[in-house]
A and B are shown apart, each in its own frame.
Chain A
Amino acid sequence: MLKIENLTCGYDTKFVLNNINFELYDGELLGIIGPNGSGKTTLLRAITKVIQPIRGNIILEKENINKLTTKQIAQKIAVVSQSSDIEFDITVEELVYMGRIPFRKKLQFFETKHDEEIVNKSLIMTDVIKLSKRYINELSGGERQLVYIAKALAQEPKLLILDEPTSHLDISHQVKILDLVKKLNNENKLTVIVVLHDLNLASEYCDRLILLNNGILHKIGTPEEVLTYQIIEDVFKTTVVVGKSPVTHNIYVYIVPQKYLSEQKKLN
């Protein structure tokens, strides 16, 4: 689906990502993790051609994205960004309809019946159809995130990219959103890249993980391979205990507060 070859990119003269190589397979749910400022969002911006690579290639379905227009990319990749406030009143329905913009023809100003069907399907799939007449700025963070996912689904993408979709949300919404993403991945065979800060959510939901550190790909592999206590300590400079979830038996990372570590040192 997507192949990143020797990717180096950044802003002006500062390199943010250095020599990144990996491949994303069809139907995979890939998580990107790493400390703040490690280049996660920059990687997503390069994949969607918001910024140009300094070196290297990004191949989307066997085509270099440099040769694709932004419209062609938008027909294949949908992005749920870290949402920001909108200064103007826009209803949920209006926003989700925007997902059909990449498919409109020249001089087509209004949506078609087909667009309407897809928008309705997306609103139902994300369970926000009851909110469709509400303004985006009136919604809670969790509802808003679901609406942005509905807009992304209206793009009928082959690859869905989510940038920290669960930050600032309570656990019920975190689970609701990632359950939905997993369902789309399993049932609709949608390939997904998701940036996550919470290592336990990453381990629970992702097939494979990429760990970025200072713009370098530190480790790629299954959650068991990436989330070891040495790697986490090396990259995040934090002591953790790595165990398994008693319910799902997936990797579970326990944090260890500094106070406890100091007491242990004194005892030793």
Chain B
Amino acid sequence: MINKKIIFYFSWLLISLLILLIVIIISLCIGSSGILLKDIINVLLTKRVGTVEHSIIFDIRVPRIILGFAVGSSLSISGVILQGIFRNPLVEPYTLGISGGAAFAICLNILLGLNKENMLLSIPISGFLGSILVLLIIYLLSTRKGILKINQLLLTGVMISFIASSLIMFIMSISRLEDLHQIIHWTMGSLEEPNLLLIKIIFFISLLGYFVSYFFSVELNTFLLGEEEAIHLGINVNRVKKILFVLASLLTGSAVSVAGIIGFVGLVIPHLVRIIVGNDHRILIICSGIIGAAFLILSDTIARTIIAPVELPVGVITGIIGGSTFIYFLYKRNLYKK
């Protein structure tokens, strides 16, 4: 039984990695100028610097793929964690107002023209500060006598989310046309990020997300039975809740700050993976992270090629593909259950 379980987990891990690899290859090949697979292998093996292919692959496509991996993984893992600690399958990274905080701070930044001075870093930094500020507000308002109250956390988060969207609408209504365009472009989400350092940072944060959340995978399993049951199984529920909430917020905040609001990944991918591999977080976390990454890289590839040279916002693609794939799987599962 145990051996079977481990084989099951490793098979799904391998399948997920294989899917990711295929998507990465597709993403490397397809673009406004197509590159053949053999040319890619040639470039990778010979490392001929200075050729057009080399420049397209290493300067444009690889950074986008790494960013897609980081953002997709972060949002998916954050979704799995939050659905686990809230025992609510409808919670997603954007429910708690963390992204709202980031979006508001960025809109404010654009409105006040602060981003003109240091274009590259100012927007993500303000976004990250906004999300941290919201995290602190929600955390303090939901903690009583040192205990994090989960229901209060959810309600406070949803309310802050509403307040943030209203404030964003207010800012949009008083913005100049060019600022408005920039705000709308940002809120739709994009993996276009010229700053390599930023890509490296968010990649590192997403790896941290994999490790730390996996460390608490067994604890998350017990949360599915309820907080009191988790205590009965010897879990220090309050400590675990706090660590996981902060981790999920950091993952969401960093992803949103760099890539904008990319919907559906944090809600749909954990669900989809749940349907396939089950609810055991020991496999769910890793598979969700990897499939989330593959999904976002694929969506981005479609977004930048479908009506090339014009690039669609990646959020549009994640919504359409994510939603329809999810309905398909839900329908298939119901058929199977009957």
Indicate if the CB atoms of B87 and A87 lie closer than 8 Å: yes
Q: A50-B231, A70-B236, A74-B232 are in contact. Are A86 and B225 (CB under 8 A)?
A: yes
Q: Is B224's CB within 8 Å of the partner chain A?
A: yes
Q: Is B119's CB within 8 Å of the partner chain A?
A: no
**Residue A73 contacts which of B214, B224, B234, B279 (CB distance < 8 angstroms)?**
B234
Determine the distance from Cα of A170 to Cα of B218 in the docked complex, in whole angstroms: 35
Query: How far apart are B124's CB and chain A's nearest CB, in angstroms?
Result: 34
Query: How far apart are B10's CB and chain A's nearest CB, in angstroms?
Result: 11
Q: Is B278's CB within 8 Å of the partner chain A?
A: yes
Could you show 19 A-B contacts with beta carbons less than 8 Å apart?
A71-B234, A71-B235, A71-B236, A81-B226, A81-B229, A86-B225, A88-B87, A90-B225, A94-B221, A94-B279, A95-B225, A98-B222, A101-B222, A101-B233, A107-B215, A109-B218, A110-B2, A110-B5, A112-B2
Q: A81-B228, A110-B2, A116-B2 are in contact. Are A90 and B234 (CB under 8 A)?
A: no
Indicate if the CB atoms of B234 and A70 lie closer than 8 Å: yes
**Residue B233 contacts which of A84, A98, A107, A116 (CB distance < 8 angstroms)?**
A98
B-side interface residues, number (CB < 8 Å): 29
Q: Is A60's CB within 8 Å of the partner chain B?
A: no
Indicate if the CB atoms of B6 and A101 lie closer than 8 Å: no
CB neighbours of B149 from chain A (8 A): none
Q: Is B280's CB within 8 Å of the partner chain A?
A: yes
Q: Is A75's CB within 8 Å of the partner chain B?
A: yes
**Residue B232 contacts which of A81, A87, A95, A113 (CB distance < 8 angstroms)?**
A81
CB neighbours of B234 from chain A (8 A): 69-75, 101-102
CB neighbours of A91 from chain B (8 A): 278
Nearest A residue to B86 via CB reads A87
Indicate if the CB atoms of A113 and B231 lie closer than 8 Å: no
**Residue B224 contacts which of A45, A86, A109, A113 (CB distance < 8 angstroms)?**
A86
CB neighbours of A263 from chain B (8 A): none
CB neighbours of B5 from chain A (8 A): 110
Q: B-contacting residues of A (Cβ < 8 Å)? A: 45, 48-50, 69-75, 77-79, 81, 84, 86-91, 93-95, 98-99, 101-102, 104, 107, 109-113, 115-116, 155
Indicate if the CB atoms of A88 and B232 lie closer than 8 Å: no
Query: How far apart are A46's CB and chain B's nearest CB, in angstroms?
Result: 12
B233-256 CB contacts (< 8 Å) to partner A: 233-236
Indicate if the CB atoms of A102 and B233 lie closer than 8 Å: yes
Determine the distance from Cα of A91 to Cα of B8 in the docked complex, in whole angstroms: 15
CB neighbours of B280 from chain A (8 A): 94
Query: How far apart are A246's CB and chain B's nearest CB, in angstroms?
Result: 40
Query: How far apart are B157's CB and chain A's nearest CB, in angstroms?
Result: 18
Name which of A72, A75, A89, A107 has the most chain B CB atoms within 10 A of its CB: A89
**Residue A110 contacts which of B6, B88, B214, B224 (CB distance < 8 angstroms)?**
B6
CB neighbours of A75 from chain B (8 A): 234
Name which of A88, A91, A116 has the most chain B CB atoms within 10 A of its CB: A88
Nearest B residue to A120 via CB reads B1
CB neighbours of A86 from chain B (8 A): 224-225
Nearest B residue to A79 via CB reads B232
CB neighbours of A50 from chain B (8 A): 228, 231-232
Indicate if the CB atoms of B224 and A90 lie closer than 8 Å: yes
Q: A-contacting residues of B (Cβ < 8 Å)? A: 1-2, 5-6, 87-89, 214-215, 217-218, 221-222, 224-226, 228-229, 231-236, 274, 278-280, 282
Query: How far apart are B227's CB and chain A's nearest CB, in angstroms?
Result: 9
CB neighbours of A102 from chain B (8 A): 233-234
Nearest A residue to B226 via CB reads A84
- 18 other A-B residue contacts (CB within 8 Å) besides A71-B235, A72-B234, A81-B232: A70-B236, A74-B234, A77-B232, A86-B224, A89-B278, A89-B279, A94-B221, A94-B278, A94-B279, A101-B235, A102-B233, A107-B215, A109-B217, A110-B6, A110-B282, A111-B2, A112-B2, A115-B2
Query: How far apart are A168's CB and chain B's nearest CB, in angstroms?
Result: 18
Determine the distance from Cα of A88 to Cα of B273 in the docked complex, in whole angstroms: 13
CB neighbours of B218 from chain A (8 A): 101, 104, 109
CB neighbours of A116 from chain B (8 A): 1-2
CB neighbours of A48 from chain B (8 A): 231-232
Query: How far apart are A56's CB and chain B's nearest CB, in angstroms?
Result: 19
Determine the distance from Cα of A61 to Cα of B225 in the docked complex, in whole angstroms: 28
Query: How far apart are A133's CB and chain B's nearest CB, in angstroms?
Result: 11
CB neighbours of A98 from chain B (8 A): 221-222, 225, 233
Query: How far apart are A52's CB and chain B's nearest CB, in angstroms?
Result: 10
CB neighbours of A89 from chain B (8 A): 274, 278-279
CB neighbours of B1 from chain A (8 A): 93, 116
Determine the distance from Cα of A88 to Cα of B84 in the docked complex, in whole angstroms: 9
Determine the distance from Cα of A256 to Cα of B184 in the docked complex, in whole angstroms: 73
Q: A90-B279, A109-B282, A110-B2 are in contact. Are A74 and B224 (CB under 8 A)?
A: no
Indicate if the CB atoms of B274 and A88 lie closer than 8 Å: yes
Determine the distance from Cα of A71 to Cα of B231 in the docked complex, in whole angstroms: 8
Indicate if the CB atoms of B279 and A88 lie closer than 8 Å: yes
CB neighbours of A87 from chain B (8 A): 87-89, 224
Query: How far apart are A68's CB and chain B's nearest CB, in angstroms?
Result: 10
CB neighbours of B215 from chain A (8 A): 107
CB neighbours of A113 from chain B (8 A): 2
Query: How far apart are A124's CB and chain B's nearest CB, in angstroms?
Result: 14
Q: A87-B88, A98-B222, A101-B222 are in contact. Are A74 and B233 (CB under 8 A)?
A: yes
Query: How far apart are B283's CB and chain A's nearest CB, in angstroms?
Result: 10
CB neighbours of A112 from chain B (8 A): 2
CB neighbours of A81 from chain B (8 A): 226, 228-229, 232
Nearest A residue to B6 via CB reads A110
